[in-house]
Structure 1
Amino acid sequence: MNNIKRYGYIILGGFLFALSVNLFLIPASIYNGGFTGIAQLLRDAIQSVFKIEPNFDIAGLINLGLNIPIFIFAWSRLSKKFVKLSLLSVLSQTISLTYIPIPKTPIVEDVFVAILIAAVLGSFGASLSFRAKGSSGGLDIIGFYRSQQNKGSIGNIYLVINSIIYLICLAVYNVQTALYSLVYSFIFSYGLDRFHEHNLEASVMVFTRNKEIKHKVIHEINRGVTHWEGFGAYTGTSLDVFVTIVAQSELVDIKRMIRKHDPNAFIIVTKNLKVDGGFEKRLI
């Protein structure tokens, strides 16, 4: 993916996420998880304490402020390209959250339908940032850092932060707000897993007469290969057969590489696998 396409994905992803928040979540009084949810709660507190009603939503600016120390932390610890793309994503979110007008009355009257649309639209927007090898900032960056350091899953951090956010919603607002926000969070997470191809694995089995292709997979795609010698039952022709596991986002690259070295190679792809063991997830 070239840089122009990456930047386009990042900017569009931030815009779609902000669109889902301003058009569907806020009119339905639903709160996001992560840093965006914290920004929403801080916005409510600031406007309540200082009795201000600005002409734009300040949650985007608060979210940007919360992310600044995270980016400072990540600059010397993660890929600078990843950090720059993530910063562009947060800036896109901030500008969009600030300038996309919030409807005075809900576009969709049914709250569940509103959170369903918001979750699908928002998770797809967030997935575009990941597809471009960036992130949506905030807890995502902390998660990538922990992943790079082999310090375990970010899941527990998300669980703790989001639980605090929704407990505050329960205490300050009402049960419906807290429960609907929780439902939104689950649907958003599920949608992100479906859209984010770096999280999904695929098996690629190849039948070819070019015995060098498996080495190209190892050195160019950087994936392990298991191979054996096969024979065509009808012709008796000797074939090189190998299997490798890749992220679904790598399928285009590996198929292009195989076709380059053997246009007649026979390729079988099996998607949506669950892989245990030493498979490396390349999130950035």
Structure 2
Amino acid sequence: MPAPIPLPTEYRQHHTPLEDIQGLAIALLTSATGLVFISSLGFITGQTAGLALIIAYLSGWSFGLVFFLVNLPFYALAWKRLGSEFTLKSFFCVTVVSVAVDYIPRGMSFDHLDPILGTAIFGVLTGYGLLGIFRHKGSLGGLGVIALMIQDRTGFRAGYVQLIVDAILFTVAFFLFDTRTVAFSLFGAVILNGVIAFNHRRDRYIAD
């Protein structure tokens, strides 16, 4: 496959502060809602959110608190490698999602949620939410930061990096959860990372 041709500078997207605010607000609501779907089913996902869900299920702590705490060590790395704007936006995004995932269920609950439908909705919503966060120079922290660093340095797409990490995480999950839980969780993670892998293209969309 030929290498992608970078867009000329005049075609690159430039975000105003107002565009950043509205873009991140929509992306964070979308991401958090997707996570509510997967957590309501008792399933897990990949990356830092998956690690946080596992800890939350095993400890009884809220997902929001665990998600916020497990992301703290990654900010120093992000500040050094990816700059202050990215780090501050990532900290903001993680904080908002941590609060939103614990708050949204107060206004939305499910009497019945089909596991296939629920995991598919999770993958699509959170996948596109992450795309919006990436395109406004943010992240949901943790291993996503490392995935973006690898993509920027090597061209190896962030979604594929996350798939590799997810494979390791789900292998461990097989020893902690029943096969049904892991299988449905893996289904959702594949959809999420597929959305990112097919759509997060720096040669098509570069925000300055």
In the alignment, is residue 19 of structure 1 matched against residue 23 of structure 2?
no
1:7 aligns with 2:21: yes
Structure 1 unaligned blocks of 5 or more: 48-56, 200-246, 250-281
User: In the TM superposition, what whole-angstrom CA distance separates every residue of 1:149-197 from its partner, at most 9, and x where no partner exists?
Assistant: 449665675345323432343222211111111111111111223443x
TM-score for the superposition, normalised by structure 1: 0.60
**Higher RCO (C-alpha 8 Å, min separation 6):** 2
Counterpart of 1:20 in structure 2: which amino acid? Answer: G
* Aligned equivalents of 1:147, 1:72: Cα separation in 2: 19
Aligned to 2:124: 120
Question: Residue in 2 aligned with 1:206?
Answer: none
Kept after mapping to 1: 8 A contact 2:24/2:132: yes
Q: Sort the Cα spacing of 1:111 and 1:141 in 2 relative to 1 into closer, same or farther, 3 A.
A: same
- The equivalent residue for 1:35 is 48
Determine if contact 1:61/1:94 at 8 Å carries over to the other structure.
Answer: yes
1:12 Cα deviation from its structure 2 partner: 2.4
Closer/same/farther in 2, CA of residues 99 and 149 from structure 1, 3 Å limit: same
> Partner residue of 1:145?
149
Structure having the higher strand fraction is 1
Residue 68 of structure 2: aligned partner: 64
Q: Mind listing any 5+ residue stretches in structure 2 that lack a counterpart?
A: 1-14
Number of aligned residue pairs: 193
Question: Which deviations, in whole Å up to 9, do the C-alpha atoms of 1:19-67 show, x marking residues without a partner?
Answer: 1111x212222211100000011112212xxxxxxxxx71122111111
1:274 aligns to what?
none
Q: Which has the higher helix share?
A: 2
Question: Measured at CA, do residues 80 and 107 of structure 1 come closer, stay the same or move farther in structure 2, by a change above 3 Å?
Answer: farther
Q: Deviations over 1:133-157 (max 9, x none)?
A: 2222111211222344449665675
The SS at the match of 1:11 is: helix
Which has the larger Rg? 1
Aligned with residue 46 of structure 1, among 59, 62, 67: 59
Tell me the C-alpha RMSD between the 2 structures.
2.5
Residue 210 of structure 1 corresponds to none
Q: Percent same amino acid among aligned pairs? A: 21
Q: Does residue 166 in structure 1 map to residue 170 in structure 2?
A: yes
155 and 2 in structure 1: CA distance in 2 versus 1, 3 angstrom threshold = closer
